[in-house]
C-alpha cells in the first residue's frame, strides 16, 4: 500500500500542481480568494488522489482474495479471454501489478518512512515553538489608542469570536495562534509606533485571519502536506496556499478596514522597519509575514479586477472542472506496486530424498496400523467399509454432476490453456468448487478444468484453471522448482 501511494504520488502530485498552475494563470485577473480556493483544492487533491488510488487497489485485491476463499476467483486474473465460439463472462478487472525488486521496494519504503518521521518531527517542533511563543507573550495593558483600533477592527469585520490581544518582546512580526480561543500577538516594536494607520493595518490583518479561521485551516494543510512533503510539487502547492491566503487577507483589509493605498504603504513600512518583515520558521502560526511576496501584494492591492462578476464565476467553474476531471481520471487509473517474493532455495537432493523416504515410511506405518486394527476390530472394519462405500457413491454423484454441468469438452479446455501457455500437457482434470451438497453446485460454485503444462523454456510447470462452462481462463500460476511439501506427496 505504501509503495502504491508513494509511486503513484510521483506523477499524480505533479499533474495536479501543473493543472493548478494553469488554472491560477487563467484566474490571474480575478479576486485572490478564487486562486486561494484553487490552490487549497489542489493541495487537498494532492493527498487524496494517491490515497484513494492505493485504497482502491488494496480493497480490490482484498475483495478478490475473499472471493478466492469461496470460489476459484483469484487475486490477479491473468486473462479474461474466452475460447473461440464460447461466451465470455463479465469479470471486474483488477489493476495491473508492477513488481519491484525486493531490496529496491524495501529501500523505498524505508526512505519514505524516514522522511515521514523527519517531517513529523519538524511539525512537532513547530508546534512546540508555537507554544513557547504563547508562553512568552503577555496580555496587552489597557491602551486607549490600541483599544480604539481593536474596536474598529471588530466592528468592521463583524466577527462573533472573542479575540484576546497579547504583546511580545521577542516576536518580530504580528501572528495569530489558537484553535478554539484565538489570540493575536503583537511585537512591542509595533506597539511603540506612532503611526495609527500602520497599527490598524497590522491588527486588521490579524483579525481577518481570525475571522477566516486561518490558524485551524493552516494546521490541517500542514497535516495533509506531511505524507506528500517528499514531492517538490507539494512544496509548491503549500507555498501558493500561503501566498494566496495573504492576498485574500490583504483584499479584505483594504475592503473593510483601511484604504488600499494606505494599507499598501503600511506593508512597505513594515517591510522596511526593524526588524524586517520576514517569515517565521514556525509553520503552525499565521500572520502578516507568512509570504515573501511583498511586491505581488502591493500590485494586487493597487490593481482592480478586470472581469465582471458573471465572467469570474463562469471562469471559476471552468477552472474547477479543469482541475477535478483529470484528478478523477488519475484516481481511477490505479497502478498497483508490490515487491517480488524471493523463491525458496532448492533443497539439496540428498536431504529432499531423505524427507520423501521419511514421509513414505510414516505413511506405510499408518497404513499398517489401520490394517491391524481392522483385523482385530470388526466394528471398526465395518465402519471403515461403510465410509468407503459412501465416498465412492458421493464421487460418482459428483462426477455425474460435473459431466452434466460442463459445457466445454476436455479437448477444448486443453486447446484454450495451451493457446495462452504453449507447452506439453502433463495432466488435465475436471473438478468443481463450491458444492452445496453432493451433486448440487452452490450459487458461487465453479466447474473448471485444471490443466498442468510443462514449461518449454524454464524449469517448472504452469497451472491453468479453465472455466468448464464458458471457457474463460480463471487463473494461471507458475509452479517453479521448490521444496517438496507434504501435501504434494500425499
Cα–Cα distance, 296 to 16 (Å, whole number): 24
Q: Tell me which residue of 154, 254, 149 sits closest to 210, measured CA to CA.
A: 154
What are the residues facing 280 on neighbouring strands?
Answer: none
- Report the length, in residues, of the chain: 490
Q: Tell me which residue of 206, 273, 244, 288 sits closest to 21, measured CA to CA.
A: 244
Q: Is there a contact between 50 and 17 (Cβ–Cβ < 8 Å)?
A: no
The structural domains of the chain, with segments of one domain joined by +, span 118-306, 349-489
pLDDT tens series, the chain, 490 aa: 888 888 889 999 999 999 999 999 998 888 888 999 999 999 999 999 999 888 877 766 555 555 544 443 333 333 333 333 333 333 333 445 677 788 888 898 999 999 999 999 999 999 998 899 889 899 888 778 888 888 888 888 876 777 888 988 888 888 899 888 889 998 888 888 878 888 888 889 999 999 899 999 999 999 999 999 999 999 999 999 999 999 999 999 988 888 888 888 888 887 776 454 455 667 777 877 777 788 888 888 887 665 566 777 788 888 888 888 888 888 877 677 777 765 444 445 566 677 777 777 777 777 778 777 788 888 888 888 888 888 888 777 777 777 788 888 888 888 888 887 888 888 888 888 877 776 677 777 888 888 898 876 666 788 888 888 888 888 888 765 544 343 443 3
DSSP 227: G
Q: What is the pLDDT of residue 82?
A: 36
Residues 6+ apart with CB under 8 A from 159: 207, 210, 211
Q: Is there a contact between 120 and 230 (Cβ–Cβ < 8 Å)?
A: no
Q: What is the pLDDT of residue 348?
A: 53
Element (H, E) at 453: strand 440-454
| Cα 275 to Cα 171, 176, 188, distances in angstroms | 10, 18, 11
Name the grid cell of 445.
460454485
Cα–Cα distance, 244 to 239 (Å, whole number): 9
Place of cell 480568494: 33
Helices 214-225 and 196-211, axial angle in degrees (round to 10): 60
**Fold observed for domain 349-489:** Nuclear Transport Factor 2; Chain: A, (3.10.450)
Phi/psi of residue 296, nearest 5 degrees: -65, -35
Amino acid at each position: 500500500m505504501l509503495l502504491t501511494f508513494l509511486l503513484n504520488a510521483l506523477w499524480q502530485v505533479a499533474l495536479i500542481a501543473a493543472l493548478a498552475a494553469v488554472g491560477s494563470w487563467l484566474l490571474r485577473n480575478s479576486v485572490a480568494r478564487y486562486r486561494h480556493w484553487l490552490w487549497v483544492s489542489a493541495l487537498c487533491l494532492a493527498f487524496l488522489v494517491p490515497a484513494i488510488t492505493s485504497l482502491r487497489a488494496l480493497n480490490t485485491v482484498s475483495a478478490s482474495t475473499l472471493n478466492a476463499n469461496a470460489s476459484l476467483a483469484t487475486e490477479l486474473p491473468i486473462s479474461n479471454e474466452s475460447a473461440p465460439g464460447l461466451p465470455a463472462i463479465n469479470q471486474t478487472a483488477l489493476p495491473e501489478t508492477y513488481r519491484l525488486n525486493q531490496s529496491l521496494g524495501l529501500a523505498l519504503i524505508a526512505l519514505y518512512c524516514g522522511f515521514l518521521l523527519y517531517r513529523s518531527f519538524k511539525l512537532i517542533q513547530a508546534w512546540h515553538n508555537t507554544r513557547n511563543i504563547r508562553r512568552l507573550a503577555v496580555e496587552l495593558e489597557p491602551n486607549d489608542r490600541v483599544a480604539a483600533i481593536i474596536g474598529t477592527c471588530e466592528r468592521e469585520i463583524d466577527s462573533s469570536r472573542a479575540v484576546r490581544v497579547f504583546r511580545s518582546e521577542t516576536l518580530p512580526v504580528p501572528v495569530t495562534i489558537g484553535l478554539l480561543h484565538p489570540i493575536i500577538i503583537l511585537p512591542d516594536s509595533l506597539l511603540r509606533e506612532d503611526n495609527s494607520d500602520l497599527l490598524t493595518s497590522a491588527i486588521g490583518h490579524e483579525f481577518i485571519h481570525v475571522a477566516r479561521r486561518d490558524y485551524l485551516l493552516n494546521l490541517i494543510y500542514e497535516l495533509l502536506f506531511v505524507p506528500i512533503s517528499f514531492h517538490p510539487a507539494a512544496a509548491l502547492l503549500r507555498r501558493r496556499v500561503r501566498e494566496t491566503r495573504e492576498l485574500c487577507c490583504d483584499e479584505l483589509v483594504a475592503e473593510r478596514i483601511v484604504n488600499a493605498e494606505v494599507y499598501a504603504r503600511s506593508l512597505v513600512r513594515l517591510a522596511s522597519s526593524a526588524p524586517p518583515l520576514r517569515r517565521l520558521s514556525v509553520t503552525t502560526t499565521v500572520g502578516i509575514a507568512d509570504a515573501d511576496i511583498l511586491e505581488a501584494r502591493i500590485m494586487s492591492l493597487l490593481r482592480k479586477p478586470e472581469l465582471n462578476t458573471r465572467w469570474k464565476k463562469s471562469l471559476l467553474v471552468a477552472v474547477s472542472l479543469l482541475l477535478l476531471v483529470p484528478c478523477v481520471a488519475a484516481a481511477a487509473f490505479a497502478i498497483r506496486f508490490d515487491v517480488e517474493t524471493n523463491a525458496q532455495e532448492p533443497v539439496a537432493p540428498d536431504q529432499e530424498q531423505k524427507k520423501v523416504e521419511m514421509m513414505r515410511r510414516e505413511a506405510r506405518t499408518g497404513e499398517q496400523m489401520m490394517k491391524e486394527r481392522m483385523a482385530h476390530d470388526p466394528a471398526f472394519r465395518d465402519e471403515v467399509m461403510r465410509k468407503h462405500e459412501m465416498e465412492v457413491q458421493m464421487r460418482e454423484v459428483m462426477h455425474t454432476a460435473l459431466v452434466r454441468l460442463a459445457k466445454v469438452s476436455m479437448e477444448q479446455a486443453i486447446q484454450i490453456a495451451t493457446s495462452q501457455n504453449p507447452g506439453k500437457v502433463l495432466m488435465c482434470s475436471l473438478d468443481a468448487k463450491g458444492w452445496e451438497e453432493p451433486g448440487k453446485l452452490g450459487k458461487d460454485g465453479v466447474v473448471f478444468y485444471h490443466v498442468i503444462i510443462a514449461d518449454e523454456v524454464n524449469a517448472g510447470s504452469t497451472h491453468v484453471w479453465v472455466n468448464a462452462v464458458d471457457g474463460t481462463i480463471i487463473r494461471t500460476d507458475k509452479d517453479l522448482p521448490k521444496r517438496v511439501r507434504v501435501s504434494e506427496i500425499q
